[in-house]
């Protein structure tokens, strides 16, 4: 197998980082060589056979670092298997339904369409009222978001396992 996988993310308060770390752990358990690192520390993605990219979502937008990474690496990403995830909504129920079908910021859809990721996932997020700033507290109140950790670790593991399965089935795709 010997595939080198990049799991990269943009996380403001750490919840998306923890999701990326869980995805990386599942991929490692499946026999892959995996690097889990923030998007702003990546210098060259050419060494990776596949990429998983995730971003925290605030007010319907990805973190700027993740959006810039996606745009700056579009050509390379379009030449290998890519999976994309967003982390953000809180509450009970399907996260995509909670976001009324939203999966990605509109501004990123053309780039993502050209990259053609294998899958785009949306995971529940976590809001710790002790960590967020005044503006974010006002936004949470305005959109009536619930505070707490709503991440569904079983869903995250299932998604990561599906990535591992897809990579095992396509041994020569890079």
Neighbours of 13 (CB within 10 A): 15
Q: Name which of 4, 111, 119, 15 is nearest 58 in CA terms.
A: 15
Whole-angstrom Cα distance, residue 161 to residue 88?
Answer: 21
Digit-coded pLDDT (tens) for 35-85? 999 999 998 999 999 999 999 987 778 999 999 999 999 999 999 999 999
- Which residues 6+ apart lie within 8 Å of 156 measured at CB? 19, 22, 23, 123
Whole-angstrom Cα distance, residue 107 to residue 153?
Answer: 29
Whole-angstrom Cα distance, residue 65 to residue 156?
Answer: 22
H/E stretch holding 111 reads helix 109-115
Is it the case that residue 173 has pLDDT exceeding 50? no
**One CATH from 3.40.50.360, 3.40.50.1220, 3.40.50.300, 3.40.640.10 for 4-169:** 3.40.50.360
Whole-angstrom Cα distance, residue 46 to residue 125?
Answer: 30
Mean pLDDT of 21-43: 96
Mean pLDDT of 82-103: 78
Digit-coded pLDDT (tens) for 119-165? 999 998 777 767 766 666 666 666 666 666 778 999 999 999 999 99
Digit-coded pLDDT (tens) for 101-124? 668 888 899 999 999 999 999 998
Span between the terminal Cα atoms of the chain, in Å: 12
Is it the case that residue 171 has pLDDT exceeding 60? no
CA distances from 57 to 28, 62, 70, 104, 139 (A): 26, 5, 15, 9, 13
Q: Name which of 28, 2, 5, 21 is nearest 118 in CA terms.
A: 5
């Amino acid at each position: 197998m010997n595939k080198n996988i990049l799991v990269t993310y943009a996380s403001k308060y750490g919840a998306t980082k923890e999701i990326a770390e869980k995805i990386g752990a599942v991929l490692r358990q499946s026999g892959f060589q995996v690097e889990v690192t923030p998007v702003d520390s990546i210098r060259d993605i050419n060494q990776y056979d596949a990429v998983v990219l995730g971003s925290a979502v605030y007010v319907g937008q990805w973190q700027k670092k993740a959006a810039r990474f996606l745009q700056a690496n579009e050509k390379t990403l379009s030449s290998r298997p890519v999976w994309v995830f967003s982390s953000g909504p809180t509450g009970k129920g399907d996260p995509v339904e909670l976001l009324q079908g939203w999966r990605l910021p509109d501004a990123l859809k053309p780039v993502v369409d050209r990259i053609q990721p294998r899958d785009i996932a949306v995971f529940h997020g976590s809001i710790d009222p002790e960590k967020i700033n005044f503006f974010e507290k006002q936004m949470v109140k305005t959109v009536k978001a619930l505070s707490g950790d709503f991440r569904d670790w079983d869903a995250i593991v299932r998604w990561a396992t599906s990535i591992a399965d897809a990579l095992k089935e396509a041994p020569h795709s890079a």
